[in-house]
Amino acid sequence: MSANEQKRQKKLAKKRSKELARKKEVARQKNSLQSLAGKIKAAAEQPIDRCFASENLFNEQDRFGTVFISRRMADGQLACVRLLIDGLCLGVKHADAIVCFPTEANELIDRIKRTEDMRVTSPPAARKLVEGAIEFAQQFGFEPHPQYAKFLPIWNGVDASECMTEFEFGRDGKPVYISGPDDTPESASRIAMQLAERAGEGNFEMDYDAAYRLGDLESDSDWVDDPELDVDIDEDVPTA
């Protein structure tokens, strides 16, 4: 093979390699948008549709409830994220999301309102509340629900510092663990041991009397029954 032919073959191989890389990138972006986290990421550039927080979150005795935020997507659907916040101890206890049409979103909100009194909340206040609960929980070694990181793009462009309200967590600054209906004696014991280690004996409470109040909140099923929508979460979705 002549030198010129070798050069031509190398150029062709380089061109094919670039074309293949371009096709792979297009396919990656398409697959990303088909996943739930990818859709949340795509919605991050769109306007916020509505934002609610449970009245319970502002009650010193409870500090347990839902934060809901949605954004309108280009195709008319809504990207909705629901966070179950334990402002007494564990921070973000559960996180889920769904992409649906407005009528479905209204039904989901109605379902939440059957068990919680919800107030319209500014997005900066909602983010500050959620992140404050996370910071409080992290003092005692509790991290937010694993899916929360995948839904962080929902906060894109929301500046928590715009909220001047100072939120409080725990009771008198102390963590209070309330065992939920899905918590086992083993998990409750493990949490108690962790609190004893991180907060110190006498610096936390275990409130079993309040557990019954949380039953309806924690027993509510996930929004998404289709496992492909609920579990297909991109691992490389950047945080907000």
Could you read off the pLDDT of 180-228 as tens digits, one per residue? 777 788 888 899 999 999 999 899 998 765 554 444 455 454 554 333 3
Domain boundaries, the chain: 3-34, 37-231
Residue 194 is classified by DSSP as H
DSSP string, 125-160: HHHHHHHHHHHHHHTTTPPPPGGGGGGGGGGTT--G
Q: Report the interhelical angle of 36-43 vs 3-34 (nearest 10°).
A: 90
Give the model confidence (pLDDT) of 34-89 as tens digits: 588 889 999 999 999 999 999 999 988 889 999 999 999 999 999 999 999 999 99
pTM of the complete model: 0.76
Give the model confidence (pLDDT) of 76-117 as tens digits: 999 999 999 999 999 999 999 999 999 999 999 999 999 999
Q: Which of the pair, 237 or 2, is modelled with greater confidence?
A: 2
Q: Which of the pair, 63 or 28, is modelled with greater confidence?
A: 63
Residue 177 is classified by DSSP as E
